[in-house]
Amino acid sequence: MKNVLIVAAREFRQIASMRSFWLTLLIMPLSIAAGAVAPQLFDKDQADRVMIIDRTGGSEAQALGQRFKLDEARDKLSALSRYVQRHHLERADPAALWAQHDRWYSDADVARFVAEGGPAAAKAKIARVKAEDTPEFTPPEPDFELVPVPASLAKVPDAQLDRALKPVLKPTDKDAKAVDYIILIPASFGESPLVRLWANKQPSQQFVGIVQDVLTRGLRTRFLAAQGVSPDAAESASTIAPTLAISTPPPGGGAREAMLVRSILPLAAAYLLMISLMLSGSWMLQGTVEERSNKLLETVLACVSPQELMYGKLLGTAGVGLFMIAVWVGCGIFAGYATHGAIADLIRPALDPLTSPGTILALIYFFVVGYVTIAIMFLAIGAMSDSMRDAQGYLMPVLLLILLPITILMQAVLGGNNGGVLMEVLTWVPIWTPFAVLARLGLGIPTWEVVGTGILLAAFTAAEMVLLGRLFRASLLAQGQRPNVREVISRMRAVPS
Amino acid sequence: MSVLTLERVSKRFDQTIAVDDLSFSVEQGTVFGFLGGNGAGKTTSLRMVLDIIRPTSGKIEVLGRPPGRENAADIGFLPEERGLYRQMTALDTIAYFGRLKGMTAADAKLEGAALLDRFGLAASTKQTVDKLSKGMAQKVQLATALVNRPRLLILDEPFSGLDPVNQGLLEDEIRRISAGGSTVVFSTHVMQHAERLCDWLLLLGRGRKMFEGTLDDARAQLPARLALVAKNDPSRLPGVESAEDHGEAEPGWRRWDVRLEPGVEPGHVLEQCVAEQFPLRRFEQVHASLHDVFVHIVGTPETEQ
């Protein structure tokens, strides 16, 4: 056993001394962090400045302004709801709109939120129950900011506006703030549907949508009034819209989003198993090929038995793989608790399955046994190869055989599928069992299936240890051409004397 | 006391007999030369001693025990095909093999550093092997075999691939270890090294033992030869098998290469020369080289397989 540990420690050190190991170790958390932070980088940090020249008397400009304010308040209410949910602050006012999550806030809801005092009133209530280390709620920046029309511009005739607006959209003075959008609603609005929009960039879909929506209502009101309908009735008619009562099941009730969040940890385990196996397995393969090509084996075998060498290598490589995963998981947990943003939102619900000891056991069992099952294949390939080129010849078909079905499986699980013939086949064929069971743990897999596949996997791994162990032993000092299939089988059948 | 014993050991690979009914024993403190051409069965025999492969039949005893890794603490081994971990430092490499031979990490490092110092590599202890020259790497390889101060040092073709400086270093180490009471078994097909170093020799041909004994015993396998400077043809002298004329030594005197009949002592021929008043200016016994003995017993080392 001592020699196994010495060999394992050397393998670990050898891999840990490689630059590629540390790069790989860092790339994973960095790329995940970049993925979480990137959307924030794309967020606008300043509201678009909007100027409305309304020649109709100001009613349309007022309607647009109200709509901008309403959308801004809706964004604040949604953000507040997410903040309250994340920090479990519902008890501040269980009846408040912001304590009701996973719902769409209607215009009436938003109006009520504003009437009740908006974010300021909510923050005051929350402050009474909030823990000291819980961060303050920061409302999102508004998307649009209305700027008043300067008197000088208001007097400019419509025909001369093109020239007059140029310095407003692109001011030459560095300190002057540019206006992003300028809307002209002509005095003839109603008789003619024409409205002009100047922009200092490609107008956003959101902005054009809002303007279109509000002004369509204005046009309809004017049209109905022209038809003799009373102004109040015309106004009401233009705002008639169905009230959608939107309800979503509570988390855990089967909605796809909730299901994906719950299954992310086992699925992530399957991904991590695959990635760490591929990386550490190929490093181990490289090490074994090096021992063969550098003619080191005889010296080593004079001190340790082939079994000790094999177990040491497996242990060392498993150590590398588990170390990588421990670092990644550690980074994840750190991110989950140190940040209060998107990463925490993703990770915290994902830790839910860890409340079940059975799930934890299954996760660990299939992860570790799965690791050994696949790693020993890499080891046997390394023992048969005199060079990395030789090894690639064996490795490619083995990798394709393992990885192609797994990729399909992952896609299926991400799509919420947890059944079907393919899923069952992948679950019960031992080389795919660890990935399939890990991926399905979050979606729910019958206990009998977990136990059955677990026993089958253990039996398969034991048989693999015996057969590939013989192949490893027989191949270590074998020389000559790459063994063909018949030779490989004969080495597996050869019982060591 | 016998350190290594093989009793009727054979090893067969499919249809090929690599070692055939081989028996010998090595006494403690001796330098034992295991001689034979390529394919004679030397490496196979040594691998069986180290338990890297198992014999088909026969019995092996190493330091009083059956072959196995439990002997590793007392054995040093330098294989014919040598290599090192390229990314490990010189000291770590030696310490790693020391640990595999049962040493503590501290002892292995201490002994490794002492060996590197003795081999003139004290400045290279922290250098990775891929940055060492070939000659330096050869010294590190030797150090991996010596780190545990072995009671039995097994060297398989140790001089092959070594530069002359390292050949001298290795010869010195073999003498040093032997002087310290340890036993050295080394295989070679270069007879000069065996001639200089070995107390006891075993000649192997096609897996079978062809000869075992001291260097003098080996030489005695060949008929004695004399170098004479004489006036007359010595082939008529009693006990002489043949005489070859090698030309004039000085006016009236010729050089002769004389081969004696098996079992005839040179002193007997000298007596005859005196008794018969056979004129002589030179009478010298020529010792056969180990190479001659090898060729006589086994065939040429290169073609023996």
| Tokens of residue A460, six digits | 């398969």
* The residue type at B53: I
Higher pLDDT, A178 or A273: A178
Q: Does A290 touch chain B (CB under 8 A)?
A: yes
CA angle at A284 for the pair A316 and A466, rounded to the nearest 5° = 75
How far apart (Å, rounded) are the C-alpha atoms in residues A372 and A431?
11
Which one of B78, B82, B86 has the shortest CB-CB distance to A290? B86
Summarised one tens digit per residue, pLDDT across range B201-212 is 898 888 888 888
Q: Is residue A330 part of a domain?
A: yes
How far apart (Å, rounded) are the C-alpha atoms in residues B35 and A383?
31
Does the pLDDT of residue A5 top 90, yes or no?
Answer: yes
Identify the pLDDT of residue A160: 85
Instruction: Please report, rounded to a whole number, the percentage of residues in chain A having pLDDT higher than 70.
Output: 85
Q: Could you tell me the domains of chain B?
A: 2-219 (3.40.50.300), 225-287 (3.30.70)
Rg (CA), chain B: 24
Q: Does A308 touch chain B (CB under 8 A)?
A: yes
Which one of B47, B88, B97 has the shortest CB-CB distance to A303? B97
Tell me the chain B residues in contact with residue A17 when contact means C-beta distances shorter than 8 Å: 87
How far apart (Å, rounded) are the C-alpha atoms in residues A427 and A453?
7
How far apart (Å, rounded) are the C-alpha atoms in residues A125 and A129?
8
Q: Whole-number mean pLDDT of chain A? A: 80
Instruction: Please report, rounded to a whole number, the percentage of residues in chain A having pLDDT higher than 90.
Output: 6
Q: Based on the structure, what is the number of domains in chain A?
A: 2
Q: How many Å lie between the alpha carbon of A2 and the closest alpha carbon of chain B?
A: 8
| Over residues A392-398, mean pLDDT | 83
Burial of B85 (0-12, 13-18, 19+ CB in 10 A): buried
Does the pLDDT of residue A339 top 80, yes or no?
Answer: no
Identify the pLDDT of residue A245: 59
Tell me the chain B residues in contact with residue A16 when contact means C-beta distances shorter than 8 Å: none
Closest CA to A221 of A108, A62, A71, A51: A62
Contact A295 B83 (CB under 8 A): yes
Tell me the chain A residues in contact with residue B54 when contact means C-beta distances shorter than 8 Å: 496-497
Answer yes or no: do A228 and A263 share one domain.
no
Name the 3-class secondary structure at B2: strand
Contact A296 B83 (CB under 8 A): yes
Put simply, the chain A residues between 15 and 54 with a CB less than 8 A from any chain B CB are 17-18
User: How many CB atoms lie under 10 A from the CB of residue A37?
Assistant: 13
Name the 3-class secondary structure at A174: coil
Pair B183, B34: CB distance under 8 Å:
no
Closest CA to A457 of A359, A394, A371: A371
Q: Is residue A418 part of a domain?
A: yes
How far apart (Å, rounded) are the C-alpha atoms in residues A204 and A206?
5
**Residue A139 pLDDT grade (very low, low, confident, very high; cuts 50, 70, 90):** confident
| Tokens of residue A150, six digits | 């300067």
How far apart (Å, rounded) are the C-alpha atoms in residues A327 and A26?
9
| Over residues A240-257, mean pLDDT | 52
How far apart (Å, rounded) are the C-alpha atoms in residues A207 and A144?
9
Answer yes or no: do A486 and A445 share one domain.
yes
How far apart (Å, rounded) are the C-alpha atoms in residues B227 and B244?
10
Answer yes or no: do A274 and A416 share one domain.
yes
Identify the pLDDT of residue A6: 93
Contact B75 A14 (CB under 8 A): no
DSSP structure class, residue A88: T
Closest CA to A51 of A219, A211, A180: A180
Contact B87 A14 (CB under 8 A): yes
Pair B258, B225: CB distance under 8 Å:
yes
CA atoms in the 13 A half-sphere facing the CB of B61: 14
Tell me the chain B residues in contact with residue A18 when contact means C-beta distances shorter than 8 Å: 87
Contact A295 B100 (CB under 8 A): no
Q: Is residue A39 part of a domain?
A: no
Contact A294 B87 (CB under 8 A): no
The residues, any chain, with a CB within 8 Å of residue B251's CB and separated by 6 or more, are: none
Q: What CA dihedral angle connects B259, B263, B264 and B265, to 10 degrees?
A: 110
Chain B residue nearest residue A497, CA to CA:
B54
* The residue type at B104: T
| Over residues A69-84, mean pLDDT | 88
Identify the pLDDT of residue A247: 57
Pair A416, A256: CB distance under 8 Å:
yes
Summarised one tens digit per residue, pLDDT across range A447-481 is 888 889 999 999 999 998 888 888 887 777 676 66
User: How many CB atoms lie under 10 A from the CB of residue A465?
Assistant: 18
Summarised one tens digit per residue, pLDDT across range B182-198 is 999 988 888 888 888 88
Pair A362, A437: CB distance under 8 Å:
yes
Answer yes or no: do A213 and A359 share one domain.
no
How far apart (Å, rounded) are the C-alpha atoms in residues A291 and A253?
55
How far apart (Å, rounded) are the C-alpha atoms in residues A32 and A20?
18
Contact B47 A298 (CB under 8 A): yes
Contact A305 B69 (CB under 8 A): yes
Answer yes or no: do A420 and A333 share one domain.
yes
Chain B residue nearest residue A287, CA to CA:
B85
Answer yes or no: do A489 and A451 share one domain.
yes
Q: How many Å lie between the alpha carbon of B2 and the closest alpha carbon of chain A?
A: 21
Q: Is residue A77 part of a domain?
A: yes
Does the pLDDT of residue A293 top 90, yes or no?
Answer: no
Closest CA to A4 of B51, B107, B145, B99: B99
Q: Does A300 touch chain B (CB under 8 A)?
A: yes
Which one of B52, B82, B85 has the shortest CB-CB distance to A301? B52
**What residues are paired with B244 via a beta bridge?**
B257
Burial of B14 (0-12, 13-18, 19+ CB in 10 A): exposed
Summarised one tens digit per residue, pLDDT across range A87-137 is 788 888 888 888 887 667 888 888 888 888 888 888 888 888 888 777 888
* The residue type at A497: S
Identify the pLDDT of residue A372: 86
Identify the pLDDT of residue A251: 41
Give kind and range of the element (H or E) at residue A162: helix A161-169
How far apart (Å, rounded) are the C-alpha atoms in residues A297 and A476?
7
Answer yes or no: do A119 and A219 share one domain.
yes
Phi, psi angle pair for A101, to nearest 5°: -100, 175
| Over residues A133-149, mean pLDDT | 85
| Residue that finishes a domain, picked among A207, A239, A271 | A239
Name the 3-class secondary structure at B218: helix
**Residue A253 pLDDT grade (very low, low, confident, very high; cuts 50, 70, 90):** very low
Identify the pLDDT of residue A38: 63
> What would the DSSP string read from start to end of B157-187?
STTTT--HHHHHHHHHHHHHHHHTT-EEEEE
CB–CB contacts below 8 A, A to B: 67
Burial of B295 (0-12, 13-18, 19+ CB in 10 A): middle
Q: Is residue A293 part of a domain?
A: yes
| Over residues A314-336, mean pLDDT | 81
Contact A290 B47 (CB under 8 A): no
Does the pLDDT of residue A259 top 50, yes or no?
Answer: no
Identify the pLDDT of residue A130: 84
User: How many CB atoms lie under 10 A from the CB of residue A369?
Assistant: 18
Q: What CA dihedral angle connects A188, A194, A198 and A203, to 10 degrees?
A: 140
| Tokens of residue A288, six digits | 């074994």
Distances (CA, A) of B288 to A193, A399, B31, B211, B228: 122, 63, 21, 16, 16
Contact B52 A10 (CB under 8 A): no
Which one of B72, B85, B88 has the shortest CB-CB distance to A303? B72
Identify the pLDDT of residue A419: 66
φ/ψ bin of A178: left (φ > 0), alpha (ψ from -120 to 50), beta (otherwise): beta
Lowest mean per-residue pLDDT among A211-220, A378-387, A429-438, B58-67 = A378-387
Q: Is residue A458 part of a domain?
A: yes
| Residue that finishes a domain, picked among A181, A215, A239 | A239
Closest CA to A254 of A83, A412, A418: A418
Which one of B85, B100, B141 has the shortest CB-CB distance to A6? B100
Q: Is residue A348 part of a domain?
A: yes
Identify the pLDDT of residue B185: 92
How far apart (Å, rounded) are the C-alpha atoms in residues A303 and A300?
5
Identify the pLDDT of residue A43: 58
> Residue A116 is part of which domain span?
45-239
Answer yes or no: do A103 and A186 share one domain.
yes
Contact B83 A294 (CB under 8 A): yes
Closest CA to B84 of B42, B143, B43: B143
Answer yes or no: do A380 and A292 share one domain.
yes
Phi, psi angle pair for A27, to nearest 5°: -60, -40
Distances (CA, A) of B291 to A250, B43, B188, B226, B242: 93, 20, 12, 18, 21
Q: Is residue A26 part of a domain?
A: yes
Answer yes or no: do A174 and A136 share one domain.
yes
Answer yes or no: do A200 and A116 share one domain.
yes
| Residue that finishes a domain, picked among A239, A265, A291 | A239
Tokens 């949508």 found at: A209
How far apart (Å, rounded) are the C-alpha atoms in residues A297 and B85?
11
Contact A304 B69 (CB under 8 A): yes
Identify the pLDDT of residue A257: 43
Phi, psi angle pair for B155, to nearest 5°: -125, 120
Pair A52, A146: CB distance under 8 Å:
yes
Residue stretches of chain B with pLDDT short of 70? 299-305
Pair A353, A262: CB distance under 8 Å:
yes
Q: Does A6 touch chain B (CB under 8 A)?
A: yes
Q: How many Å lie between the alpha carbon of A13 and the closest alpha carbon of chain B?
A: 9
How far apart (Å, rounded) are the C-alpha atoms in residues B221 and B296?
8
**A13, A299, A305: best to mutate for the B interface, most B CBs within 10 A:** A299
Closest CA to A89 of A53, A136, A42: A136
**What residues are paired with A352 via a beta bridge?**
none
**Residue A279 pLDDT grade (very low, low, confident, very high; cuts 50, 70, 90):** confident
Q: Is the dihedral of CA B290, B295, B297, B301 positive or negative?
A: positive
Contact B79 A295 (CB under 8 A): yes
Answer yes or no: do A316 and A172 share one domain.
no
CA atoms in the 13 A half-sphere facing the CB of A258: 9
